[in-house]
Structure 1
Amino acid sequence: MKQSKQFALSTVALAVLTLVGQAQAAGQAAPQEGTNATVTQEIQQVVVTGTASASGTRKIDTAFSITTATEEQLKSASPSSTADVLKLVPGVYAEATGGQSGANVEVRGFPSGSDSPFVSVQLNGNPVYPVPVLSFFEGTSAFRLDDTIERVEVLRGGPSTIYSVGQPGATMNFILKKGDDVPERTIRLTTGTGNLRRGDVFLGGKLAEGWYGTIGGFYRKTDGVRDAQFPADDGGQLTATITRKLDGGEITAYVRATDEKNAFYTGVPLISSNEGRTITEFPGFDPLTGTLMSNELRHFTLDAAPGKTLERDLADGRGMKAAVWGVNYEQKVAGWDVSNKANYFDGDLNTIAMFTGNNPLTAAAYLAAANASYNPTAAATSGSITYVNGGGAVDPNQQVVQAGLWSVEKKLTSFTDELRVSREVFPGHTLTAGGYYANYKSDDEWYLGNSHLMTATPNARLIDVGLTNGTVVSRNGVDGPVNYAPQARYKGHNLALFIADEWKISDALRVDAGFRREKQSLKASISGLATGDTDNNPLTVYNNSTSMATSSFSPLERDDSASSFTAGGIYKLTRDSSVFVRANTGHTFIYFDDMRNAGSQAVLNDRNRIPTPKVTQYEAGFKTANSLYSAYINAFFTDFSGISFQQLLANGNVLYSVSGSRGHGVEFELALRPIKNLQLSLSGDYQKSEYKDNPTIAGNEVQRQPNLQFRFSPSYRIPLGDNNLKLYGTYTYIGDRWADQENRSYLPSYKTLDLGALFSIGDKWEVRVSATNLTDELGLTEGNSRLTGAQASGPINARPIFGRAVEASLLYRF
């Protein structure tokens, strides 16, 4: 790690010294010969996320940190999911190894242990769902990538605390293509690893005078890199927009409907040694392509209550059946810039998935433990342990694991609206005021636990266990009851008012400040819980303590208010280079799950137990772009307080804690173009973040965040007459991390290599071939989150990155 750290930091330091020294000397010099359209586009690129004006600001003129990616940059990155796009963003680490949904995303120094509470996903500036995270839901799960996306903008901190949902972490804004005078019509077919079959189509253009429209989408079916013996992804999406040009503005309406099943991957067996510093393959189990899921496990039954069983299908995974409708209006009216963005979201985002539990052990050890619990006077080997499918005794030395097959049904609806008005009240002085409203609901029905005993092999087999005293420990593989089965109905609404002021002091200096006041009101109705024996047979111990929702519901409610503030300034060194500073204070409110976990109105009202988290951030940065190089570099400091954590254990218990954190570091996006058609890019961050406020973990590193991560991405374009060949690749380094707050479970560093080629044949055809994790690197994104303490030596469960995957696509423009 030391060499990688020295390489990244020395590169950044050299870039800062060189570029700042050259900025003034460069002045207003004309672009160098050989400047291509891509470079010109970067220099002139306008961003709309985090800007006071709906029309946006040149990226290089913004006084905050923002990363952008065009459609081509997104395709070259070969993201495996929406969350995986965030690997392009310095200061963000996305654990996208669960598949299309259910990612864990950490933002620079912000303390989070799972999901993505500090990342908000937007479509055309509207939050897809106004709450960034709930249990079994995070924002990227409600979004799928396709050819209807023009670009993505990811704002980190800065003025995001003022606008829209007021996210203090990262705001990920996807911008849809809109039709224009030049029609765009494409068909793309893709195949690849896992028997991938995918088709994309996009049509866009002018409909009539002043009217423009688009329609597009995809359908795919694949077994996935990890073959579960059933489709990993199966379904598609359709998106349409219509735009009406107005005098001094436009109005755009859009709709996006998604119906897709997506398998969800959790841990697999591995071997840990050297206190977790060394991770190797578990005998007979390929950690890069294997999964415990199988056709034998695919269809399972939940023993929910006496006389009540529920059938579920693992192939449904963490899929999505939902639609979002939106309208964006922008126009200059009587000297005022008026903008209104509204949308409505309605969908089911259920989780039907496997969650691994205890570490692997031998079948003999499992049988011995069962006898100790239920047949203590007998020998440790008393009883039988057999396969469910086909019978036959299980070898006592066979490694076995327990995994829960869970069902969480979640129906989400929301409406959001943001209105802004801006006016230059006198030359160089622009005032912006507005309001934001969100109304949202979540109806939940959970069945957690439901442990199954199976072989620790790819595409596992289920196991039955019976003891000589008649005790049935496992039947049809089920060896544990549903241990947590709440039903709940939640609703909330937020109202915020904000005002921002921008003052152009001179042609070189501009400052701005903004203030936001927001109130949130939440209500919930949560079922009581009781335990019972669903078959009234004490010898069938696997269902003797089944959790069941009662007919009694507890009402809970809570109101919170908070203020946010931002102030910053930018100084132009030249037309295309600048330095900036930024400070902000922000917050996050509690979410529905905090209400459920509180258990009572008294605990919910206790601000010491469930506070409103607050964060303060400071940034200073440098930006420049020209034909030879571009650089976006910023140093940051974060101070976080009052965030409550919940860790759900394998036995259904929940651990609680309240902590804060403090962090600092540097983020960088650098590109060098030493000769025509060659670009060398380096992006990443170095940060140091530690917990504070909680004496049991104060001084420990914030969990799951690497101190150093970077991506080195060279690309070279070879003109071939009317054709072009682009070769590109990325070397990625992810530093070591701790999987837990106690810093006892170690996650080693890892590195990957991706390669790709794009062959453009005239104006009509494109052939793209790409490969990710070409070297089959074994890297972990997650330890065993269902257990506490140090990562054991010997067999463990953990979640690795995906193995080598190759894709090839053919695109035709017509």
Structure 2
Amino acid sequence: MRISRTCLASSISLALLALAGPAQSQAQDTSGTGTAAATGTNTDAQPAAPQTQAAAARNDAVQTELQQVVVTGVATGGVRKLDSAFSITTASEEQLRQAAPSSTADILKLVPGVYAEATGGQSGANIEVRGFPSGSDSPFVSVQMMGNPIYPVPTLSFFEGSSAFRLDDTIERVEVLRGGPSTIFSNGQPGATMNFILKKGTDTPEGSIRFSTGTGELRRVDVFYGGKISDGWYGTVGGFYRNTNGVRDAGFPSDKGGQITATLTRKLDQGEVTFYARRTDDKNAFYTGVPLISANEGRSISEFPGFDPLTGTLMSGEMRRFTVEAAPGRTLNYDLGDGRGLAATVFGVDFNQTISGWNVSNKFNYFDGDMNTIAMFTGNNPLAMGAYNATALSTYRNAVAGQTATTATATYLDGTPVPANQQVVQAGLWAVEKKLQSFTDEIRVSKEWMKDNTVTIGGYFANYSSDDVWFLGNSHLMTAVPNARLIDVRLNNGVIVANQGKEGPVNYAPVASYDGSNTALFIANEWKINDRIKVDGGIRRERQKLDATVSNLRSGDTDNNPLTVYNNGTSMPTGGNTALTRTDSANSFTIGGNFKLSRDAAIFARANTGHTFVAFDDLRNAGSQANVNDRGLLPTPKIQQFEVGFKTATQLYSAYINYFHTEFDGIAFQQILADGTILNSVSGSKGDGIEFELALRPIHNLTLTLTGDYQDSKYKDNPSTAGKRVQRQPKLQYRFTPTYRIPMGDNELRLYGTYTHIGERWADQANLQYLPSYKTVDLGAVYRLGEKIELRVNGSNLSNELGLTEGNSRLTTGGAGPINARPLFGRTWEASVMYRF
């Protein structure tokens, strides 16, 4: 990666020079005037002083909501959530715990307009955003920490942003912005931006230790401590370690690893600077489809005989350690236990200070990590062993001259015959090595150049790289049962169809190095016209340059034996490479306004235009420089969004309701089939919908919350898909969550639950693979003993609902009978005990 050393030096120098300034006085810390001046935010909009979790839980929910400040998508400082002219969802540390997310992506179930398929495990989610057409991963969701993207590109093949982040007790809150002004700030994400805010040290020392257990023999410990180090200096440190076999027990740990995070904050005259660092070493099993029975054109889904779809996985100890025949004489060993893991370091600096009337902000972030994918990917739908043998005989009957094959013998690895009626599946054991590195920096300077009118000028710079080594295909034959057994198949003419389970070669094995750089300049203006009306707008000009070096490929036989058909036609590099490059520029724009109906009620409107650029994988798939240059084949996608909304909060109720309209033009889709074929298409979409976050407090200590959205989004511009519903996105989804608090003197008991409804969807663009609606029930309780001890228990999918989040993405059609698809996890529970000090 070619990182701009000038930008790097400038960012660090700016923060270090600020440290030479005198520390803020204790009086300034108490009044908050220093922070307010540094951020350009009114002091009456600042968050309440930090306090213990138990005390915060006792606060009146309305007052907390009225004072809540958001910083994501705001040009300078922060703004009260009720006064923001855009759609944003927030979740505190307690709200995150009550949601009991199974992964970072699963947090998005709290956000209307977003649907996250988190059933792959800790990593590798598919995330869809209101009306934005996407086939997999999360191209329209950026994951930030302290306002800066962890990796500036939200999605690459075998990488999506939420996989680079692990949730723990060092997080204070998360803010999720949808559309709005995010098109001109940071990395210009037009979809959704998840911004995780770390806890900072305060004058009052605070610490906690939490032990958790649960389904899959979960063993987890979380620790956190923060406080004052010396005058003007504050720090925190925390992290977790976890080991579990998971809901789907493969016979080896599904999640194993840990994380440590630290912050160091220096209070300055009229500002502060925070340094943060995080190291994560985590291994996470990746779950794909399991066998199921489909009927009634996919409207009815039932259990495949002998396979529990809620707890079962095809992965097993027998196949955990597998080999890849990469080239003649080159065999590589991999471990399914490594899954889609994360071994990465993040370092960042968040600097804010007022200097001679100018508010200066600089956010710097450096990321370096390995995000490999060692996982099973299901292929063709289940079939009987006898049918597989018949196909093998038909294909290779005359493969040996003068020796016509008449029988096929299938055995387990121990030599035991496999019955002809045994159901079997083919699944690829894939290995993708991916090393990512990035540097991002955003600098802003703001000034109130006339009364109630603030102008902000800024720049965003990013350098990033990805070094990839892929081995796709590598199909294995196995039984369609939990913890499957591998199968060997031999014909009586000497042909070996499957050996040690391996029945297909590596069919796609590129080696590639990519480098990218983005430079953006933006200007924004905020104008408080009067006490009721505030408007803002901004424009952004961005340039991206990509360079790629991709290996040329050939097909060959790794053992020079034509009778071992399982490794014939292996994809391997030729030794030559193709160099590809592309440069694009685009403009983004936003304008919005907020009109106060009263102090705690307002309406807003927002319009924006945004874009996404082609990514590394688009260059590789194009294959030649001529194709890369073809703007018809690889267009620069453009997005237009419009929304109007209403926000209010009272003692009885609170409501955030907005209507949205999206127009999407020119996005390239990619689908990798079971045989390695890559399908590409280009289309757009158009959608309308309503999002809602409602809360009712009919009696003291009882809160009833309803969140969700209704949308109607369809493809356009491509004759093969025009008029079809945008894949994977439900028309209707909602979550109903009652919470009841029972005071018990110095103690309290809080009961909560969630009923979730996810409407029907289509798994593919052609609307051939139907995914039925489903509903789940979650329950939880937390008991607090004074200020120190907390006992919590959560249960998810208590009804054992069999709901599908994904069809067979390696096939282009649906079907009746046996299929492969990815269902919800079955009933799970987790219990924890926390001690605060």
Q: TM tier, shorter chain?
A: over 0.9
Please name the residue that 2:638 is paired with: 614
SS in 1 for 2:794: strand
The answer on whether the counterparts of 1:580 and 1:621 sit within 8 Å (CA) in structure 2 is yes
2:818 alignment partner, one of 787, 795, 803 = 795
Stretch of structure 1 that moved more, 627-636 or 194-203: 627-636
Aligned equivalents of 1:492 and 1:742: distance in 2?
Answer: 33
Please name the residue that 1:348 is paired with: 370
Q: Deviations over 1:502-521 (max 9, x none)?
A: 11111001111100000000
Matched, 1:50 2:78: no
SS in 2 for 1:787: coil
Partner amino acid for 1:529? L
SS in 2 for 1:265: coil
Deviation of 1:550 after TM superposition, in Å, equals 1.9
Partner amino acid for 1:128? I
1:186 alignment partner, one of 208, 213, 218 = 208
Deviation of 1:771 after TM superposition, in Å, equals 0.1
2:696 alignment partner, one of 652, 665, 672 = 672
Q: Deviations over 1:401-456 (max 9, x none)?
A: 00000000000000000000111111111101100000000000000000000000
SS in 1 for 2:476: strand
Deviation of 1:379 after TM superposition, in Å, equals 9.2
Partner amino acid for 2:718? N
The answer on whether the counterparts of 2:365 and 2:439 sit within 8 Å (CA) in structure 1 is yes
1:297 alignment partner, one of 316, 319, 323 = 319
The answer on whether the counterparts of 1:35 and 1:627 sit within 8 Å (CA) in structure 2 is no
Where in structure 2 are the equivalents of 1:551-590 lying within 5 Å? 551-590=575-614
Aligned equivalents of 2:707 and 2:554: distance in 1?
Answer: 52
The answer on whether the counterparts of 1:364 and 1:381 sit within 8 Å (CA) in structure 2 is no
The answer on whether the counterparts of 1:367 and 1:381 sit within 8 Å (CA) in structure 2 is no
Where in structure 2 are the equivalents of 1:37-436 lying within 5 Å? 37-53=60-76, 55-375=77-397, 382-388=407-413, 390-436=414-460
The answer on whether the counterparts of 1:487 and 1:527 sit within 8 Å (CA) in structure 2 is yes
Please name the residue that 1:764 is paired with: 788
Matched, 1:807 2:819: no
1:775 alignment partner, one of 799, 807, 811 = 799
Partner amino acid for 1:795? P
Question: With structure 2 as the length reference, what TM-score do the two structures score?
Answer: 0.92
SS in 2 for 1:39: helix
Aligned equivalents of 2:759 and 2:389: distance in 1?
Answer: 40
Aligned equivalents of 2:118 and 2:643: distance in 1?
Answer: 28
Please name the residue that 2:561 is paired with: 537
Please name the residue that 1:683 is paired with: 707
Please name the residue that 2:733 is paired with: 709
SS in 2 for 1:536: coil
Aligned equivalents of 2:545 and 2:711: distance in 1?
Answer: 35
SS in 2 for 1:342: strand
SS in 2 for 1:758: strand
Q: Deviations over 1:622-678 (max 9, x none)?
A: 001122111110000000000000100000001111000000000000000111100
Please name the residue that 2:516 is paired with: 492
Aligned equivalents of 2:434 and 2:288: distance in 1?
Answer: 20
Please name the residue that 2:48 is paired with: none
Where in structure 2 are the equivalents of 1:717-732 lying within 5 Å? 717-732=741-756
SS in 2 for 1:200: strand
Distance 1:381 1:667, change over 3 A: farther
Structure 1: gaps (5+ residues): 1-33
Aligned equivalents of 2:152 and 2:731: distance in 1?
Answer: 30
Aligned equivalents of 2:62 and 2:786: distance in 1?
Answer: 21
Please name the residue that 1:13 is paired with: none
Partner amino acid for 1:532? G
CA RMSD across the alignment? 1.1
Aligned equivalents of 1:111 and 1:645: distance in 2?
Answer: 9
Deviation of 1:376 after TM superposition, in Å, equals 5.3
Aligned equivalents of 1:386 and 1:337: distance in 2?
Answer: 72
Q: Deviations over 1:335-377 (max 9, x none)?
A: 1111000010000000000000000000000000000000159
Aligned equivalents of 2:398 and 2:611: distance in 1?
Answer: 54
Deviation of 1:39 after TM superposition, in Å, equals 2.3
Distance 1:768 1:35, change over 3 A: closer
Aligned equivalents of 2:723 and 2:397: distance in 1?
Answer: 46
Aligned equivalents of 1:147 and 1:336: distance in 2?
Answer: 35
The answer on whether the counterparts of 2:325 and 2:558 sit within 8 Å (CA) in structure 1 is yes
Please name the residue that 2:45 is paired with: none
SS in 1 for 2:98: helix
Matched, 1:753 2:754: no
Aligned equivalents of 2:314 and 2:58: distance in 1?
Answer: 52
Aligned equivalents of 1:557 and 1:421: distance in 2?
Answer: 33
Please name the residue that 1:19 is paired with: none
Deviation of 1:792 after TM superposition, in Å, equals 1.1
2:467 alignment partner, one of 420, 440, 443 = 443
The answer on whether the counterparts of 2:349 and 2:363 sit within 8 Å (CA) in structure 1 is yes
Stretch of structure 1 that moved more, 547-556 or 403-412: 547-556
SS in 2 for 1:160: helix
Aligned equivalents of 1:788 and 1:457: distance in 2?
Answer: 24
The answer on whether the counterparts of 2:715 and 2:722 sit within 8 Å (CA) in structure 1 is yes
SS in 2 for 1:315: helix
Partner amino acid for 2:423? Q
Aligned equivalents of 2:341 and 2:409: distance in 1?
Answer: 38
Partner amino acid for 1:794? G
Deviation of 1:103 after TM superposition, in Å, equals 0.2
The answer on whether the counterparts of 2:258 and 2:281 sit within 8 Å (CA) in structure 1 is yes
The answer on whether the counterparts of 2:295 and 2:816 sit within 8 Å (CA) in structure 1 is yes
Aligned equivalents of 1:309 and 1:453: distance in 2?
Answer: 19
SS in 2 for 1:535: coil
Aligned equivalents of 1:212 and 1:382: distance in 2?
Answer: 75
SS in 1 for 2:340: coil
Question: With structure 1 as the length reference, what TM-score do the two structures score?
Answer: 0.95
Deviation of 1:181 after TM superposition, in Å, equals 1.2
SS in 1 for 2:319: helix
The answer on whether the counterparts of 2:405 and 2:491 sit within 8 Å (CA) in structure 1 is no
Q: Deviations over 1:382-417 (max 9, x none)?
A: 1210001x2110010000000000000000000000
Partner amino acid for 1:46? V
Deviation of 1:381 after TM superposition, in Å, equals 6.6
Please name the residue that 1:18 is paired with: none
Matched, 1:593 2:617: yes
Partner amino acid for 2:785? I
Q: Deviations over 1:99-145 (max 9, x none)?
A: 00000000000000100000000000010000000000000000000
Deviation of 1:36 after TM superposition, in Å, equals 3.9
Structure 2: gaps (5+ residues): 1-56
The answer on whether the counterparts of 1:734 and 1:751 sit within 8 Å (CA) in structure 2 is yes
Partner amino acid for 2:500? N
Deviation of 1:380 after TM superposition, in Å, equals 8.8
Aligned equivalents of 1:181 and 1:732: distance in 2?
Answer: 41
Aligned equivalents of 1:544 and 1:426: distance in 2?
Answer: 73
SS in 1 for 2:293: strand
